[in-house]
A and B are shown apart, each in its own frame.
Chain A
Amino acid sequence: MTPEPRVIGLGLDRVDGPAKVTGAATYTMDVAVAGLLHAALVRSTFAIGTITSIETAQAAAAPGVVAVFTHHNAPRMKKPSWNLITPPPPVPLQDASVHHYGQYIAMVVAETPQQATAAAALIRVEHKAATASLSLDAPALKARSNPYFLDAKRGDVESALAAADITVDATFSTKANAHNPLGLFSTVAYWEGGRLVVHDSTQNPYLIRDSLAKVFSVSKDKVQVLVPYVGGAFGAGLRLWQHVILTAMAARAVGRPVKTVLTRPQMFTGIGHRPATIQRMRIGALRDGTITAIDHEATSTAAKVANVLYPVTLSTPATYRCDNVRGRDRQVRLDIPSPAHMRGPGEAEGNFALETALDEVAYAIGMDPIDLRMRNYAKVHPQTGLAWSSKALDECYRQGAERFGWADRTPRPRSMRDGHWLVGYGMAGVTYGHFQAKCHASLTVRDDGTVLVRSGATDIGQGTYTVITQVAADGLGLDPANVRFELGDTDLPRAPQAGGSGLATALSNAVRDATVNAIAALLSLASADHASPLHGCSARDVVVAGGRIHRKDDASRSETYGAILTRNGRSELTVQGSSAPSRAETGVLLGSLAVSRMGRAGRRLVEATHAIAPAGAFAAHFVEVRVDPLLGRLRVKRMVSAVDAGQVLNEKLARSQIVGGIVGGIGQALFEEITTDEGSGRVSNATLADYLVPVNADVPDIDVVFVGEPDSDNAVGVKGIGEIGLVGVAAAIGNAVHHATGKRLRSLPFTITELMD
């Protein structure tokens, strides 16, 4: 029997493609249920203070209005449970205090959306505002040091900087960005006798379920969260936001289903944003290119009322083989809506500073930027000294450079031209840490030979529907057409969030485990059965292919799953599967802390564990830009990205995911910045006409190549690739701009005035 080609990795079309191209896919805002009411939210127009009066009589009397809620009459609710990664903002409408611009202060529920919106405009609010702290450079702000307890150090940075041949000491800044998924975040909620059903735009249905159970004091099994499709999220869907609580609250109070669709301006204040940062990067190097010291200090913003785990310097100590490294985070709490994780949180900002400064080092010593990176290549995890589970960053540099034509680059700034356009080539590397959380799935084999896989995960566009279908088909030797994967429902087995580039690893391994368990269960039926050609076989003695279990010693003797079930009088068989992060994962985190706190003794302690360091993904981005020095115009002309993604689950979709990340990176580099009015904190560009995101004409052809081997830290060999496409793009573009113009841009987004001669 010849082995069939593996289904894993193949560039199959999305299984949810037909639903999406015909308009049949039901996003939360599309959910219609009988008796549905519509909500409109009223937001504060000031940053901090107290509501002194709120007049709702006119709104309540407006046509179609069923209820108006303010802090005077909203039911009292409990706080959702705290969690480390995404602590929830406060429960809304519980008192008269306002903590940021755009906080919800009233909700109108009416028969139609138009009636709700019109009535909301009739609410009159009086308030007393206090002076707000709104930006990183607000005077007299106190920054908290080491706010996440993740600061790392090794060696002696100050002495190494003093002894270095050259030093770069530069300050970088990055602005607040809005996730702006195209799908307006929406919630539909209804109560069916004590049971709450919620359709929501979320990346983490189980978090929403557990949190709402707490808020409304019902048991978790009395809450069901449904999310078959999400119109993008990029991290905005990782928390329990206030509009979700309000929708469920209103539905309970009026005894009818309620739908809330955020407006685009509300999307800027109600679902998080990428926080602003200011960073100082000091690098010391010897003339031969050896980097002897890296000191990375970053200050980022958080809301006063809700924290966020947002380490910006986390990856820096893991990136290069340097003996003396320090990563220090600081946090400033402001009167702003809560920031949230946004694609490559912390990494996107920290990498910009590190990879730009490295380019500065390369110029200072006259070395090629790739040679400099290879000269300081971290063959082992440099903070702990442990071997990586896999790492092909060197291949990313090599293959990326080759496809891009890096060798054609003349290093001197302003040395390449095309007519009046200045041409620049730039590159940046990315080391993206591994993340994984516990995950469960179930798998049902039916007597007709079809398989149903289920898990309460979400597909926000990354392709989970498709790749998990492939993983199950691969594990069972089936045509993917015979496998269906259901997700997005908390009545299904518990899955973690689609976030942290961790879902593909967690879920593919859980489903792989389920396929192994299914074969074992089927085999135990067949093995005990004298009538089966598989009689007496154990898992070792068989292979699966073509929907059948075959004996290894005689491939002609085989049986279909359906036949095994039928002969045993069963119509179907269901098994469970699960996955969990390896011990290495916690080992690396603890090991890094041990080295930071205990120096050499810590290092010896870590080495004694013989653990490996899960690597995560690696990438190198290469960019060609064109700059018009008179008009300050900047065009990204082409890009090549080489990515070590371990075992790619679907070539076509993985490529799309990297391209999508890169487009986000182009936005971060060239366009994106939330601007706020001084004093009130009003977001002054809260529309898609004013807050610029890349459009089709901004994006060139992008060449993506995958390199490397399946990762050794998990059975399927997967690395998460949801974020690595974005991280590094800003630095690569900035480095290309420097090459084109001789100007070093250290503040995102890059602006026309900086580019003009």
Chain B
Amino acid sequence: MSFEPPLVRTAVQVNGFERKLEADARLTLLDALRDVIGLTGTKKGCDQGACGACTVLLEGRRVLSCLTLAAQCDGRQVTTIEALAGDDLHPLQAAFIRRDAFQCGFCTSGQIMSAVALLDEGRAGSDDEIREFMSGNLCRCGAYPNIVAAIRDVAGGRNHDA
């Protein structure tokens, strides 16, 4: 049956700015970012929680924004790829370029956001650890060895016993 979904009022802190949404309850955080707020850096590769392209930080932790409803984020902090660079690129962004850690670039926003969290989680201690804990982010172009190298570069800079 056809039904009119309820509109939900949400105020999400996106990259430090409050965004007020009055939206369809079915709206995912991913679609809210992309279609409503206009931040298209976060990508949709499956909409089913299986690829990692939509990874963003929610309260500093990595989440799949396609599996997160916008309405769940009321009053919470969301960080997307657009907020990572200041005047200079974030060290991970620079390392991804230097190590050529992407080809088509479609998985890249998700890879980098995931890597930001990975470093905070302290799970970039070895190549094997990086491989394991970055395995939720698919790269169909097959840039994996370069992704590992880029993360290793940044982790190594932070933590010398890495």
Binding site for B on A (CB under 8 A): 13-14, 16-27, 29-30, 32, 58-59, 61-63, 112-115, 118-119, 122, 180-184, 229-234, 261, 263-264, 460-463, 652-653, 655-657, 659-664, 687-689, 693-697, 699-702
Mind listing 8 A-B residue pairs with CB under 8 Å?
A: A29-B40, A59-B2, A114-B5, A232-B141, A659-B143, A660-B142, A695-B138, A696-B147
Q: Which residues of A contact B26 (CB under 8 A)?
A: 114, 118
Q: Are A182 and B107 in contact (CB under 8 A)?
A: yes
Q: Which residues of A contact B106 (CB under 8 A)?
A: 27, 181-183, 231-232
- Complex Cα distance A115/B35, Å? 13
Q: Are A30 and B138 in contact (CB under 8 A)?
A: no
A663 surroundings in chain B (CB, below 8 A): 141-142, 144
Q: Which B residue's beta carbon lies closest to that of A58?
A: B2
- Which residues of A sit under 8 angstroms from B132, Cβ to Cβ? 696-697
Judged by a CB distance under 8 angstroms, whether B27 is at the interface is yes
B143 touches which one: A183, A231, A660 (CB < 8 A)? A660
Given contacts A182-B138, A462-B103, contact A24 B44 (CB under 8 A): no
Assess whether B100 is interfacial by the CB under 8 Å rule: yes
> Is the CB–CB distance between B144 and A699 below 8 Å?
yes
Q: Report whether B134 and A696 are in contact in the complex, using a CB–CB cutoff of 8 Å.
A: yes
Cα–Cα, bound, A261→B145 (Å) = 30
Contacts of A27 in B (CB 8 A): 43, 106
> Is B98 an interface position by the 8 A CB rule?
yes
> Which 3 pairs across A and B sit closest by C-beta, in order of nearness?
A23-B41, A663-B142, A231-B106
Known: A30-B34, A696-B131. A660 touches B48 (CB 8 A): no
* Count, A-B residue pairs, CB within 8 A: 189
A21 near B103 (CB under 8 angstroms)? no
Interface hits, B125-162 → A, CB 8 Å: 130-132, 134-148
Contacts of A657 in B (CB 8 A): 103
Q: How far is the CA of A378 from the CA of B144 in the complex (A)?
A: 35
Beyond known contacts A16-B105, A230-B104: 14 more, CB 8 A cutoff? A14-B97, A21-B112, A22-B82, A29-B43, A114-B24, A182-B107, A263-B47, A461-B103, A661-B142, A687-B50, A688-B48, A694-B144, A695-B138, A697-B132
* A182 & B104 in contact (Cβ 8 Å cutoff): yes
Q: Are B142 and A699 in contact (CB under 8 A)?
A: yes
User: Main SS of the interface on chain B?
Assistant: loop
Is A26 within 8 A of B135, CB to CB?
Answer: no
Note all chain A residues with C-beta closer than 8 A to B39: 23
Q: What residues on A are CB-neighbors of B1 within 8 Å?
A: 58, 122
- Given contacts A113-B31, A183-B104, A659-B142, whether A23 and B45 have CB atoms under 8 Å apart is no
Give the complex CA separation of A551 and B36 in angstroms.
59
- Say whether, besides A14-B100, A694-B144, A183 and B43 are in contact (CB < 8 Å): yes
B16 interface hit (Cβ, 8 Å): no
A63 and B141 contacting across the interface, CB-CB below 8 Å: no
Which residues of chain A are within 8 angstroms of B2 by Cβ–Cβ distance?
A: 58-59, 61-63, 118-119, 122
In the complex, A653→B103 CA distance in Å?
8
Task: Judge whether B44 and A29 touch: CB under 8 Å.
Answer: yes
- Inter-chain CA distance A255–B26, complex, in Å, is 28
Residues of B within 8 A of A655 (CB): 100
A565 to B90, CA, bound (A): 41
Cα distance A30–B132 in the bound complex, in angstroms:
30
Q: Is the CB of A183 within 8 A of B45?
A: yes
A178 to chain B, nearest CB (A): 10
B51 at the interface (CB under 8 A from A): yes
Of all chain A residues, which has the CB nearest B107? A182
B100 surroundings in chain A (CB, below 8 A): 13-14, 652-653, 655-656
Q: When chains A and B are docked, how far (Å) is the Cα of A27 from the Cα of B41?
A: 9
Q: How far is it, in angstroms, between the C-alpha of A19 and the C-alpha of B105 when the chains are bound?
A: 9
Chain A residue nearest in CB terms to B99? A652
Interface residues of B in 65-106 (CB under 8 A from A): 80-82, 84-85, 89, 93-94, 96-98, 100, 102-106
B45, B104, B138 — most chain A CB neighbours (10 Å) = B104
A20 in complex: contacting residue of B82, B94, B108, CB < 8 Å? B108
Q: Known contacts A30-B34, A232-B104, A656-B103; is A23 also within 8 Å of B109 by CB?
A: yes
Does B4 sit at the interface, judged by CB under 8 A? yes
B42 at the interface (CB under 8 A from A): yes
Query: Which residues on the B side are within 8 Å of A652 (C-beta)?
Result: 100
A58 to B106, CA, bound (A): 37
List chain A residues, Cβ under 8 A from B40: 23, 26, 29-30, 32
Within 8 Å by CB of B24, from A16, A30, A62, A112, lies A112
